[in-house]
């Protein structure tokens, strides 16, 4: 039975760990061709090699999403190698929580550059191809923090609210081109994300929270697969999920 995933060319940013890696593995197992971007090239290359050894099609490209030229290169490489791009999964992100009064300017700049500009660069790289194809699917990763703001999480939450606003703006603009748009907002999922926190006390608290509540990354992969696998005339625009035990 066709899953509407098999044969699709899917570009994933932040595919070197966590949610991106889990999505790459699951979508590849469902028969997709995956094109993997991240700054840690050896990780995405190793993953691509593993998938190829298992009989799948995969490609890796060193990509820093804060550089729009590198994101364009990732997407163009997918189209040159496999003839098209069916799905752009804008997943790369970081979460260096800290209270505003601690003035962690560098952390904030990086968060905005990766979580907002990175998504915009992904959209910019994929849209021209999808417009020409008159088909495609852009999936952006927000968060429960795109719905709720917590102490020490204001900047991260601001970027994830922005991702939801951008996704809705994109949705209403791309109707003429037959492009689907989905924003996925996960709760706590066990990944390397808490390691991006640079303030020791905040890091300790968030790690404790994740150790108690986080669910496996495959929960995200299943949400991505659900959105992609719908018939072409069904556009799943929003998915919000949490660990069952997570109250926040």
> 131 or 207: whose CB is closer to ligand NAP?
207
Going residue by residue from 143 to 182, which x/- string records binding to ligand NAP, judged by CB under 6 A?
Answer: x---------------------------------------
Going residue by residue from 180 to 219, which x/- string records binding to ligand NAP, judged by CB under 6 A?
Answer: ------x-xx-xxx--------------------------
CA distances from 161 to 154, 157, 187, 239 (A): 10, 6, 14, 14
Q: What is the CA radius of gyration of the chain?
A: 17
Residue partners of 76: CB distance under 8 A and separation at least 6: 125
> 20 or 136: whose CB is closer to ligand NAP?
20
- CA distance linking residue 209 with residue 205, whole number of Å: 6
Q: Is 39 near ligand NAP (CB under 6 A)? A: yes
- Write down the least CB distance from residue 177 to ligand NAP, Å: 25
Q: Which stretch binds ligand NAP (CB under 6 A): 37-45, 77-85, 229-237, 238-246?
A: 37-45
The yes-or-no answer on residue 156 being catalytic is yes
Q: Is 114 near ligand NAP (CB under 6 A)? A: yes
Question: Both ends of the chain: CA-CA distance in Å?
Answer: 38
Torsion, Cα 100 101 104 105, to 10 degrees, reads 80
Among 5, 10, 14, 47, binds ligand NAP (CB under 6 A): 14
Q: Is 71 near ligand NAP (CB under 6 A)? A: no
Long-range contacts of 161-169 (CB under 8 A, 24+ apart): 162/115, 162/116, 163/115, 163/116, 163/119, 166/116, 166/119, 166/120, 166/123, 166/140, 167/138, 167/140, 167/142, 167/237, 168/237
- Write down the least CB distance from residue 217 to ligand NAP, Å: 7
Q: Is 65 near ligand NAP (CB under 6 A)? A: yes
- Write down the least CB distance from residue 159 to ligand NAP, Å: 8
Binding site for ligand NAP (CB under 6 A): 13-20, 38-40, 63-66, 91-95, 114, 141, 143, 186, 188-189, 191-193
Residues forming the active site? 156
């Amino acid at each position: 039975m066709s899953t509407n995933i098999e044969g699709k060319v899917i570009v994933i940013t932040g595919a070197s760990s966590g949610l991106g890696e889990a999505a790459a593995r699951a979508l590849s197992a469902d028969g997709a061709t995956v094109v993997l971007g991240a700054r840690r090239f050896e990780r995405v290359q190793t993953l691509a090699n593993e998938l190829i050894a298992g009989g799948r099609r995969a490609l890796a490209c060193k990509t820093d999403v804060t550089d729009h030229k590198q994101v364009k290169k990732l997407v163009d490489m997918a189209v040159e190698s496999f003839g098209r791009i069916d799905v752009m999964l804008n997943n790369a992100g970081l979460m260096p929580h800290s209270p505003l009064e601690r003035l962690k300017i560098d952390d904030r700049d990086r968060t905005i550059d990766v979580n907002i500009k990175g998504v915009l660069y992904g959209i910019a790289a994929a849209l021209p191809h999808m417009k020409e194809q008159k088909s495609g699917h852009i999936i952006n990763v927000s968060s429960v923090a795109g719905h709720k703001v917590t102490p020490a999480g204001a900047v991260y939450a601001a970027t994830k609210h922005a991702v939801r606003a951008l996704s809705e703006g994109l949705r209403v603009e791309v109707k003429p081109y037959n492009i689907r748009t989905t924003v996925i907002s996960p709760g706590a999922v066990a990944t390397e994300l808490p390691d991006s926190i640079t303030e020791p006390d905040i890091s300790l608290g968030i790690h404790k929270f994740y150790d108690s509540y986080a669910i496996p990354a495959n929960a995200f992969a299943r949400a991505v697969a659900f959105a992609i696998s719908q018939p072409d005339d069904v556009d799943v625009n929003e998915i919000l999920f949490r660990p069952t035990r997570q109250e926040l």
